Amino acid sequence: MVEREIPDFDLGQISRSGQCFRMRQISEDAYLLIAFGRCLEAEQRGERVRFHCTEREFEDVWRDYFDLDTDYGKIKRLVDPDDTYLQAAVRAGSGIRILRQELWETIVTFIISQRNNIPRIRKCVEALCRAFGEKAVDPREGPYDLFPTSKVLAEASEEALRACGLGYRAPYIRRTAQMVEGGEADLAALSEMDHEEARAGLLRLCGVGEKVADCISLFGLHHIGAFPVDTHIQDMLKRYPKGFPFERYSGSAGIIQQYAFYYELFGNGGSE
């Protein structure tokens, strides 16, 4: 087990923030996460966080995954003291971090996210993993399902994908998987591109529009300048009749976006 004191970090807020869909609460203070083919239990009280893994696994996988080397306090201090909305949003989502997720999983889950809500996305993702993911066993947590590979999804029938609750998104996922397997889409190359190049590449994937491309850029490529705009963020932007001050948050706008998204969803930003 690894124990750390981590400021600006909240497992619950991260789990609810809509950026990953295989992290769930299992007790008052504990969460279970499946990522990169591994199963992790983590628990938190205040700033003390316990990760049920070895020190080597923590350093090799989870330190980077949770973006623990980024100073989020510094980013929060960028917010204009006179911007009462964003100040409230930062307080509401003060423990959110932008996870460094596996790109293929992020592509699929955000294709699923189109015109969907977080509980339903989670349900679809779990159904997809049960149906198509390899089985694994964690010594502590027991059996679990890995996220399905592009090869498996490329070979899946549309009917079988629709059975996972994917609806009209099923052919998009199947075709995107075929693009990856056939070499039309190079995930390794996307990972090396800057934000604008990667965004253009993502837009060529089947079923990926501008908002989904920005989500994948932010959550799967860690381009923290990406700024996905959905209906919640559209509502937030209306609060700035003279225009949102993007220049103030250049290079970290995606983190600011997450504070606002969380506030609109779980704070009272949407009812002010």
Residues with catalytic function = 211
DSSP secondary structure of 168-189: GGHHHHHHHHHHHHHTSS-HHH
Tokens coding 138:
């964690």
d(CA 128, CA 161) in angstroms, rounded, equals 7
CA 237 to chain centre: 21
Instruction: Count, in order, helices (H) and strands (E) of the chain.
Output: 15, 7
131 CB burial (10 A radius; 0-12, 13-18, 19+)? middle
Report CA Rg, the chain: 18
